[in-house]
Amino acid sequence: MKGKHIAITGPTAGIGRTASLELARRGAQLTLLCRNPQKAAELQQEIIAAGGLAPAIVIMDMANLASVRAAGEALVAAGKPLDVLLNNAGVINVSRQETVDGFEETLAINHFAPFLLTGLLLPLLQQTPHARIVNVASDAHAFVKGMGFDDMQATRSYKTFREYGRSKLANILFTRRLAGLLQGQDITVNCLHPGAVATSLGTQNESIIARIVPYLLKPFFRSPLQGAQTSIYLCSSDEVATITGEYFVDSKVRKTKPWARDDAAAERLWRYTEECLGYTFPV
């Protein structure tokens, strides 16, 4: 990975942190896109202490579309070509919350923000040969049987695992459609399931359910190191240099649920996202 420039969201905890440390160890130049400046600075120093190149830090709040726009525009203004974009950050909420933009937070952070960021950074990816976009999705797309277009913002009812599952389904549909739109360009787009990983995901929820669920699931969790392996593989391996539009589990292509292969739903989601964001993706 020497000489490669990688931008990663959610790099300061869980699989994002593990992937950042490993990719930096392999010689990559990282740009850390994160909300917390202190945690970013701590990770930056850890990478340097381990012999990695000093990563750049760009502060970005994925729950705030203006912040995502500002971060993307700052990277474009800096003009450094981008080899890999790893859309890693995610959230799960036990109750319905809205962002400052008025969107249901799970969908906004897990889908709207990476959609917008990817579009903004596409010109940088187009400047490098064999560029890659890697989206962290999840087998949680099996929790649902479609996007639920009749209540996308979960205003009529909110169910934790349903909304999370839909947001992860959105990641897969986004990957599938973007890969198709970029056919003929030297950019691959893939997504992955990291496994049930013992990370900080969900710990922002201050409720008894938020404390009990991780305890009940702990025996089934992978370590962040195990969970990060497929992300690292998709960012770095020559084996996937020409593979695009696929879903990976344990560094192997896996078949998704039928509703994650619904091209009509992918197109509808794309249009809905652009309308909500007031943004036209540059493809």
Per-residue pLDDT tens over the stretch 20-44 = 999 999 999 999 999 999 999 999 9
CA 180 to chain centre: 19
pTM of the model: 0.92
Portion of the chain with pLDDT greater than 70, in percent:
90
**Average pLDDT estimate for 87-108:** 97
State yes or no: is 164 an active-site residue: yes
Residue 172, pLDDT score: 98
User: Across residues 9-15, what is the average pLDDT?
Assistant: 94
Q: Homologous superfamily of 5-194+227-277 in CATH?
A: NAD(P)-binding Rossmann-like Domain (3.40.50.720)
Residue 227 pLDDT class (50, 70, 90 cuts): confident
Per-residue pLDDT at 202 exceeds 50: no
The single residue of 164, 215, 272, 279 carrying the catalytic annotation is 164
Residue 10 reports pLDDT greater than 60: yes
Query: Which runs of E-coded beta strand occur in the chain?
Result: 5-9, 29-34, 56-59, 84-87, 131-136, 187-193, 247-249, 252-253
